[in-house]
Amino acid sequence: MNQENFEYLYSQFNQKMQNKEFEDALFLVPELLSVAGDNDLDVFYTLMGKASALTNLNEDKDVIETYDEIIEKFEDTKNEIIFRYLAYSYYNKALIYAKSNDYEKELECYNRLLEKFIEDTSSQLEIVLVKAYLNKAVCINQLKERKDAIVVYEELLLNFKDSVNPDVLDNLAYASFNIALLYAKEEQNDEAIKAYDFLIDNFNSYEEESIKELVAKAYVNKAGRYREQNYIGKAIEVYDQVIEKYEKEQGVLLKQVALALYNKSIILSQLNNEKELLEVCDIIIEKFSDSKDDMIMNVVSSAEVVKNKEKFNHSF
């Protein structure tokens, strides 16, 4: 009978949560816990629901206390369902600390989560572990430890390299891209180029828009690293790869084509290669003159300035 009572009360709790009646939902928690009694799973669901309601009310201190209660009560649980969902207690607690930029405590939560659950290879935990790695790296970077952040990203890539989960793969591509960005910020251009190559080589065949965008950006940024090293020929070669590979695409990928053309035009201008510069400007104007995107419109305007300047110079 207690189980039936719990299920009825818990359905009422969920209905209030769906209706965003969070304070009313919290009023049901003491009764839910009373009815749950010694049923660990029911107690766990109730406390997790309580933490969710408090989160929606921005009661951060109470949220952390609730997650601490959950962790303390169920840290050594043998119940597989509770064990797997327990990982979210650590993760959600970390997010509360992230709201207040308390990176040290946020980092501690990710460390405890990964240490406790990394051996669990189940698909149910895969995404929360990946997110914990990503957030841990971001957190470490906020603490000005870029090299350590790179190590975390690399550990993530190693541990999940065989995953077939699309969401995980999307995050692995993101991690690869961030490794390259961090190396670039450290002005380690050779390492940045290697990281961009890793992303291109490993994710070039994926059709997901988010991954295709990261690969396109990797090409453009790789060319930028070559420019930094004054390897102009290599930079132009990579920009041409971007233009050829993505010229028939739409949306965000076309922005990378526009950026590649623009950057190539800058190089050609610096080389005083007037003939090819004008050809590139013509391509930009012809291909993008109808675009409503602010960045692309600026690229078109720059190309038009170059063309108009050339007309002016030849009018005398």
pLDDT at residue 301, rounded to an integer: 92
* Overall fold of domain 1-117: 1.25.40
Would you list the DSSP string of 183-242?
A: HHHTT-HHHHHHHHHHHHHHHTT---HHHHHHHHHHHHHHHHHHHHTT-HHHHHHHHHHH
pLDDT at residue 310, rounded to an integer: 58
Q: Distance between CA atoms of 15 and 100, rounded to whole angstroms?
A: 30
Q: Do residues 180 and 196 lie in contact, with contact meaning Cβ atoms separated by under 8 Å?
A: yes
What number is the average pLDDT over the span 9-33? 96
Amino acid (1-letter code) at residue 290: D
Can you give the residue ranges of every domain in the chain?
Answer: 1-117, 141-230, 234-316
Mean pLDDT of the chain: 92
Q: How confident is the model at residue 251 (pLDDT cuts 50, 70, 90)?
A: confident
Supply the CATH classification number for the domain 141-230: 1.25.40
- Is 141-230 in the same CATH topology as 1-117? yes
Mind listing the pLDDT tens digit for each residue in 290-300? 888 899 999 99
pLDDT at 311 over 80: no
pLDDT at residue 312, rounded to an integer: 41
Q: Distance between CA atoms of 200 and 193, rounded to whole angstroms?
A: 10
